[in-house]
Copies of this chain bind each other. A is one copy, B any other.
Amino acid sequence: MSVRKLMIGVIGAGEASEQARQWAYEIGRLIAWRDAVLVCGGMGGVMEEACRGCIEAGGQTIGILPGDQADQGNPWVSLPVVTDLGHARNVIIAHTARALVAVEGEYGTLSEIAIALKLGRPVTALGGWRDIPGVMPAVTPRGAVSWIFDRLGRKDS
């Protein structure tokens, strides 16, 4: 039996709409309930709300931080990975997550989607970059997370 945890990525902007923050929080909870670990960029906005949802539901959160200080991560990152790589840390998120949910987001999020698709990772999006070819558009957090686990071969329970 493997000790390996399943990693699911949540990506989106550090400045996010109220809608995006609610979606992100709910996605974080759903990831925790399925016993996966949430991976994100560890900063504010979508990342912070997703981490908060995950932690409050009893899960764990890895923040792949762009700066050189663990304290720069949001307070809901339990496992800060300090890269000091700036935007290049986006590529690590795409590699580390087995699948990704994008919540709105701007160009940084688009770069993560692009690398994730390049790597063949399942990617779904709520708002934002949902029209990029290869991205599965989603309408609700539950739909987004269900699709991802279905693609990874782990059914809803």
Residues on B with beta carbons closer than 8 Å to the beta carbon of A92: 81-83, 85, 88
Among A17-25, A27-35, A106-114, the one that faces the other chain is A106-114
Q: How many residues of A contact B (CB 8 A)?
A: 45
Chain A residues 76 to 107 lying within 8 A of chain B, measured CB to CB, are 76-88, 90-92, 94-96, 98, 106-107
Closest to A111 in B: B114
Annotate A59-88 by CB proximity to B: 1 below 8 A, 0 otherwise: 001101000101000011111111111111
Residues on B with beta carbons closer than 8 Å to the beta carbon of A61: 3
B117 touches A107 (CB 8 A): yes
B106 touches A118 (CB 8 A): yes
Q: A70's contact among B4, B68, B76, B111, by CB below 8 Å, is which?
A: B4
Q: A68's contact among B2, B77, B86, by CB below 8 Å, is which?
A: B86
Chain A residues 113 to 135 lying within 8 A of chain B, measured CB to CB, are 114-115, 117-119, 132, 134
A77 touches B4 (CB 8 A): yes
Residues on B with beta carbons closer than 8 Å to the beta carbon of A96: 70, 80-83
Instruction: Using CB atoms and an 8 Å cutoff, list the residues of chain A in contact with chain B.
Output: 2-5, 7, 37, 55, 61-62, 64, 68, 70, 75-88, 90-92, 94-96, 98, 106-108, 110-111, 114-115, 117-119, 132, 134
